[in-house]
Amino acid sequence: MYKKNFFLIFFFITLSVIALARLYDNAVSRDAWQYGEWLINYQHGFVRRGIFGEIIYLFSAIFKNNIQISFFVILSSIVLLYFFLNYYFIKNLKLNFINYFIIFSPIFYFLFIIIAKIGIRKEIILYIFFLLYLIQLSSENFVLKKNWKFILLFPLLLLNHEGSFFYLPYLILPLFFIIKKNELKELVFQAFALIIISSLLEIFLYYNRGSLEHALTICQSLGQYAPVQCDTWGPIQGLIPYPPIQEYSFSDLKTYFGFLFYVFYGFFPLFVFFKFASIRKNKFLIDKKKYFLMLLITFVFSIPLFPLAQDWTRWVSIHFHLIAFMIFFLQRINLINYENHFMFNKINNYVINEKAIKFFLISLFLYATILQYDVAFHDDSKLESTYHKVFIQIKSKF
């Protein structure tokens, strides 16, 4: 019989090793984006996105102020915690072909491997928070009053990256599947407090979004360990004020088509999920259609993020991560049912067996790696073949 946990252990260890290698390369090369994003600090006073950079800066005193070592140690710990939580979260699930399909989506775990410019970005803190949140919600002794610590902690994520605000509804959504009707007032109160506190902090961050002086002082504080082109390129330079709304109106329709196709391609496992899955009755009678509508509303809440920043592939990937974790959560609390669907059973029995599983996983690996789209949405962005791109890079060296 196919050993599910052996696959998961191998899968997450492999991802961990690749992630650590990527972090090491970012630290050595002092990459402006993947390394520099984490080094924004408070050396010129409070500024948005500075909390982890300040921690890295202060922690570097242990290593004789070597920022590169401090960066690698702290980020490695974060990465290892993230992959451990993923394993812990899904190890007891029954991994049917839909779950495997979700795991191998190109905009899920494989995203930072396939698209070199993505790297280990700050949304990993949001993922860790959400996983810990869902683990608590799925525990047998959960009561809604215990949820206040997560409601009050979430606004602190905005100090890491203010973009987390646009994914706030994901904290409210899973509660509708587990609370009792007499707890609805408490849920509304918590949701109201979450929105108000987060909104106030978001406004505060807007008025402390940075300046040229912040960028120059931060680069100076990092000394020889500053990212390449520190004050002229990358997130630290991005602290310098820019017009709040950027307009994306490109003449090349391939830019739009390529992005939309890649989003559909990456989200296809979720469409398969909604095709075959059924949601068991819960206190609020949320069925599959209502759940899809709730997710759609959640996505609409994030739309203002897209004209504010160009990293569109990152923004949709964050949605996919949180939705996938939600689906795994619903399985942890036994609200998802597949077995009543005849076609699901037929497909699952065909691919999830000792003879077919290896071929199935290889096929999924190809699905996850064959296409990629640039992290940022701009005129030069295009849908590309990963293997053709690798071939061209290898060919150029000979």
Task: Please give the mean pLDDT across all residues of the chain.
Answer: 90
> What's the domain count of the chain?
1
Q: How far is CA 338 from the centre of its chain?
A: 26
pLDDT at 48 over 50: yes
Predicted pLDDT at 251: 52
pLDDT of residue 382: 82
Give residue 268's pLDDT. 97
Share of the chain above pLDDT 70, in %: 94
Question: Quick one: pLDDT band at residue 245, thresholds 50, 70, 90?
Answer: very low
* DSSP structure class, residue 227: P
pTM listed for this prediction: 0.94
Mean pLDDT across 178-189: 89
> In terms of C-beta density within 10 A (0-12 exposed, 13-18 middle, 19 or more buried), how is residue 130 classed?
buried
pLDDT tens, residue by residue, 322-351: 999 999 999 999 999 886 778 898 999 999
Q: Which has more pLDDT, 47 or 114? A: 47
Q: What pLDDT shows up at residue 1?
A: 42
Better-scored residue on pLDDT, 389 or 158? 158
End-to-end CA distance of the chain: 46
pLDDT at 398: 66
The 3 state secondary structure assigned to 224-244 is HHCCCCCCCCCCCHHHCCCCC
- pLDDT tens digits for range 95-142: 899 999 999 999 999 998 888 778 899 999 999 999 999 999 999 889
Confidence of residue 384 (pLDDT cuts 50, 70, 90): confident
Q: What is the mean pLDDT of residues 172-186?
A: 90
Q: Report angle CA 115, 119, 122 to the nearest 5 degrees.
A: 130
pLDDT of amino acid 224: 96
How do residues 206-234 score in pLDDT, each as one tens digit? Answer: 999 999 999 999 999 999 999 999 989 88
Contact predicate 255/381, CB 8 Å: yes
Kindly tell me if the per-residue pLDDT of 193 is higher than 90: yes
Which stretches of 101-207 are assigned E, i.e. beta strand?
none
The boundaries of the domain holding residue 300 are 4-396
Whether the per-residue pLDDT at 375 is higher than 90: the answer is no
Average the pLDDT over 130-155 and give the result. Answer: 94
